[in-house]
Homo-oligomer: A and B are copies of this chain.
Amino acid sequence: MDQETIERFSDHMQRTGGLTAEEFEQIAHLLRSVRFTKGAVVLEPGSVCNHAFHVTHGLLRVAALDRDGNEHIVQFAPEGWYASDRSSMYFQEPSRLRIDAIEDTAAVMVGQDFVDAACAVSPKFAKSNTTLLHNHIRHMQDRIALLLGARAEERYQKFIAMYPDLTLRVPQRMIASYLGITPESLSRVRRDLAERNFRPRV
């Protein structure tokens, strides 16, 4: 039953979810912990997403598949983050996203029943949940603006600034996929940046 994973989630709830340790205890039985080995599929596209996965160790990725079968990474979920398809969860529609593990990962499965129970137990939780939603929206808005308005190089620089840790953990081809370019292009972008930084004038 992986007690440590649940405890970490409890800590997280107390820090950012507005639940006290006692409130958490009351509803902890609604949670399950899971482990995924590197490469394991967490959510199969076409199935309904019934849980948000809160990562306590490791790294998940969320990817959309276009009709040519190419993967486009929508989000990375390292420790402390959630991976899920909110639309699929809310509307109970089959998801068009795939979630899988980039590293060996431990996560907590958070279902609607837990969220409802937590909202009932604590108004603070309800509020932090709404804040989470709005953070998600803000993040997507920024991403859209970036995809519309910035070139590959700028997108990459923003990525590094925003997720410096991920830049080290995630293979470059996946960063490229997140940025909407090919691995080859990312490689060239990196080379150009390195040249400009280390030999400003030749």
Contact = CB atoms under 8 A, between A and B. Distances in A.
Contacts of A145: 64, 66, 72, 74, 96
Interface in A71-126: 72, 74, 86-87, 90-91, 96
Contacts of A27: none
B144 A140 contact: yes
Given A66-B145, A143-B144, A134 B74 contact: no
B86 A137 contact: yes
A138 B64 contact: no
A186 B142 CA distance: 24
A147 B144 contact: yes
Contacts of A66: 145, 148-150
Interface string A139-165: 011011101111000000000000000
26 contacts: A64-B141, A64-B144, A64-B148, A66-B148, A66-B150, A68-B149, A72-B148, A72-B149, A74-B141, A74-B144, A74-B145, A86-B138, A90-B130, A90-B131, A90-B134, A91-B134, A91-B138, A96-B145, A133-B133, A133-B137, A136-B137, A140-B140, A140-B141, A144-B144, A147-B147, A147-B148
Contacts of A131: 90
Interface of A: 64, 66, 68, 70, 72, 74, 86-87, 90-91, 96, 130-131, 133-134, 136-138, 140-141, 143-145, 147-150, 180
A138 B70 CA distance: 20
Nearest to A73: B148
Nearest 9 A-B pairs (CB), nearest first?
A66-B149, A87-B138, A72-B148, A64-B145, A140-B140, A90-B134, A147-B147, A148-B180, A72-B149
